Amino acid sequence: MTISHSSIVEKAADATARATPASLARRVRGLSDRAIAWLFITPAITLLLAINIFPLIWAVYLSFTNYRANRPNAPVQGVGLGNYERVLNDPDIWQAMQTTAHFVFWTILLQTVIGFALAYLIDRKFRGHAFWTTIILIPMMLSPAVVGNFWRFLYEPQIGLFAYAVSLVSGIPTSEVQMLGNVSLAPWAIIIVDTWMWTPYVMLICLAGLRSIPDYIYEAAEVDRASPWRQFWSITVPMALPFIMLAVLFRGIENFKMFDMVTLLTGGGPGSVTEVASITLKRAAFESWATGRASAFAIVLFVAVFGLANIYVKALNKVKQR
């Protein structure tokens, strides 16, 4: 806008340009902004309320009753906090929580170490690094259920490729490499598949972290004669830390819910050494049909994840602000 002219048209145009969109919208034909905001947001929220929030509230209600889904016509009685008491005093549930924690710990540790190492190497930008990065990402896009199911074949002791490879390297006869049938190896069978599948996920987030570090910091460190080792621990790791933490958060939440892969690989067995929380929950809800108790367990799980995630996010924000 030039100010040299001061025709009425110019002034009008000026006023229009300064006008807030809201007042403008009222002047141009069509719906008001408010109506549009409502119209646009309501359908999505309605669907979420119906299929996400309402079931959640219903689960809370059910958790205070003795309702059983396989007897829909039996009278429903409120049992107060009885279900919660039973859940929190159930040794099987504590066992499942421990098993889950064990999985979460090892998968996150392995995936973070390998994922960060890979990201660090890819960040050296060797020839063809973009192509190989894409190749590495493939496993995490696949269906954990469908791929996990196929891993059972790889793990077969007599005919499986995994057993064959292990015996080739170590000399242990293939019939001895019982990954899924052995109480001490079955958890590791699952940890291996999970790590194979999700390391690329951590790698991708770490890579973003490494690429966010500006070059001039390293240049300054060079000028100060900092050793590569020192640069790594004083620049690379601290600056990539928020990203690493974010990856850990997402993997932690996901693996707390672990279900598909475990169900298809071991079904919670042998015995119950790989029975994670989701599998215990499924058994309580859809095998014992103890709907009330299962709902209480579900709520306990939700509160636990939600609480831990919140504490974690606070810590993450602290790291970010440094």
Q: How far is CA 180 from the centre of its chain?
A: 25
- Nearest in space to 287 (alpha carbons), one of 309, 263, 310: 263
Q: Are 258 and 48 in contact (CB under 8 A)?
A: no
Lay out the site mask for other proteins across 175-204 (x = CB under 8 A, - = otherwise): ---------------------x---xx--x
Note whether 59 binds other proteins by CB under 8 A.
yes
> Nearest distance from residue 80's CB to other proteins, in Å?
20
HSE at residue 303, side-chain half, CA atoms within 13 A, is 9
Q: Which residue in the set 105, 222, 232, 233 belongs to the binding site for other proteins (CB under 8 A)?
A: 222
Note whether 298 binds other proteins by CB under 8 A.
yes
Segment 151 to 180, residues that bind other proteins, using CB under 8 A: 151-154, 158-161, 164, 174
Residue 186 vs 262, nearer CB to other proteins: 262
Segment 234 to 293, residues that bind other proteins, using CB under 8 A: 243, 246, 250, 253, 256-257, 259-260, 263-264, 277-278, 281-282, 285-286, 291
The pair of three-digit structure tokens given for residue 76, joined into one six-digit string: 């429903």
The owner of tokens 């006023």 is 15
Q: Which residue in the set 76, 235, 241, 305 belongs to the binding site for other proteins (CB under 8 A)?
A: 305
Note whether 134 binds other proteins by CB under 8 A.
yes
SS3 content of the chain, % helix, strand, coil (to 5): 75, 0, 25
Note whether 315 binds other proteins by CB under 8 A.
no
CA 200/CA 135 separation, integer angstroms: 10
Look up residue 29 and give its DSSP letter: S
Q: Which residue in the set 99, 112, 236, 295 belongs to the binding site for other proteins (CB under 8 A)?
A: 295
CA 188/CA 8 separation, integer angstroms: 79
39 C-beta neighbours (distance < 10 Å), count: 10
Segment 73 to 112, residues that bind other proteins, using CB under 8 A: none
CA 261/CA 136 separation, integer angstroms: 20
Q: Which residue in the set 12, 88, 109, 121 belongs to the binding site for other proteins (CB under 8 A)?
A: 121
Instruction: Point out which span in 34-42, 82-90, 91-99, 103-111 binds other proteins (CB under 8 A).
Output: 34-42
> Nearest distance from residue 122's CB to other proteins, in Å?
6
Instruction: Point out which span in 1-9, 89-97, 115-123, 176-184 binds other proteins (CB under 8 A).
Output: 115-123
The pair of three-digit structure tokens given for residue 273, joined into one six-digit string: 């050494």
Q: Which residue in the set 4, 75, 89, 124 belongs to the binding site for other proteins (CB under 8 A)?
A: 124
The pair of three-digit structure tokens given for residue 154, joined into one six-digit string: 């790889």
